[in-house]
Amino acid sequence: DTEVTQTPKHLVMGMTNKKSLKCEQHMGHRAMYWYKQKAKKPPELMFVYSYEKLSINESVPSRFSPECPNSSLLNLHLHALQPEDSALYLCASSQVERNTEAFFGQGTRLTVV
């Protein structure tokens, strides 16, 4: 099983809303990632968790708040987003060793209105 599951698939939220994106994997991976992808652009790294601890934050605005409650789950909490935050949000996982393969989920298409 090489599946990373993201929910919801689509999300529309207002600028004053609070919502969360969820990511789950059961491959025993201890590194999990959030990427943001704008239309016709490559994915850009947002956060990296290693052994459930935040190891990289790519200077992401505080309106995005990641959480890794256990080794299988990764959440991204959203609050007071702007329309320019509309994008495809991708979750990925891998073994912690740096030469290992990364597996991506199908993404959450977020629209901020």
Partner 1 sequence: KQEVTQIPAALSVPEGENLVLNCSFTDSAIYNLQWFRQDPGKGLTSLLLIQSSQREQTSGRLNASLDKSSGRSTLYIAASQPGDSATYLCAGKYGNKLVFGAGTILRVKS
- Extended strands (E) in the chain: 4-7, 10-13, 18-25, 31-37, 44-50, 53-57, 64-70, 73-79, 87-94, 103-104, 108-112
Beta carbon nearer to partner 1, 4 or 11: 4
Among 31, 68, 81, 110, indicate the residue that binds partner 1 (CB under 8 A).
Answer: 31
111, two tokens: 């629209």
Beta carbon nearer to partner 1, 16 or 53: 53
Q: Please, are residues 48 and 33 in contact by the beta-carbon 8 Å criterion?
A: yes
Q: Cis omega before residue 61 (within 30°)?
A: no
Among 28, 42, 69, 83, indicate the residue that binds partner 1 (CB under 8 A).
Answer: 42
Minimum distance of partner 1 from residue 85's CB (angstroms): 17
Q: Which residues bind partner 1 (CB under 8 A)?
A: 2, 4, 6, 31, 33, 41-45, 48, 50, 55-56, 88, 90, 92, 98-107, 109
